[in-house]
Amino acid sequence: MNQRIVRFCFTCALGLGLATLPVGMFAADDTKTPDTKAPEKDIPTKAPDFSKYTFVKDVTGEVVKADDKKLTVKVSWTMLKPGANAKAPPTAVPMSKEYDFTFLPESLVRTEFLPPKFDDKGKKVAYTQKEKDALKLPMKVPYYAASMSDLTKGTLVNVTLVRDKSIPASKVTDDDSRIKYVVIQPPPAK
């Protein structure tokens, strides 16, 4: 009876260990075939080193403009304004402010969703597992790879801001914040 329990425990542990290994580890190496495309040069395969930075905050807003160095994001919120007298209900007042953020050399643009993929005839097609894995590079970075060109006006984004650890906390200003990740949010459902 004890041997069965021990054998069962080892079998479960082995199965769990194999399930957590990356799938591509056992795939055949097909990088030597002539029709295989090389990975895109703008998608790094190694995660950037952000060890000299510390987290500041996340900001969600709408892209106003973007280039290789800066991103302008419009953050909107609603503020309740008290009524004219005690009996009047408060009114909702929409507010917004634009913020400029600077990219780090190692900043990444990611997307929370896989954008639709079309074939040469314009028909929507599914991604292969290999394509999905390539879009998840670099490993240990959230979501899917995107490019600066995807940061168009009106796109909803979540910006993760960091600052240099060498700046003392007592001397930190808003201008010291830099972009670690820009994550493109899915478009609102209609």
Q: Any idea where the domains of the chain sit in the sequence?
A: 39-184
- From residue 72, alpha-carbon distances to 60, 62, 63, 91, 155 in Å are 12, 8, 6, 29, 11
Label residues 83-122 b or e (16+ Cβ within 10 Å = b): eeeeeeeeeeeeeeeebebebeeebbbbbeeeeeeeeeee
Res 26 pLDDT > 90: no
Structure token pair of residue 127: 């991604």
pLDDT of residue 137: 86
Give this prediction's pTM. Answer: 0.69
pLDDT 10s digits, 131-166: 988 888 888 888 999 999 999 999 999 999 999 999
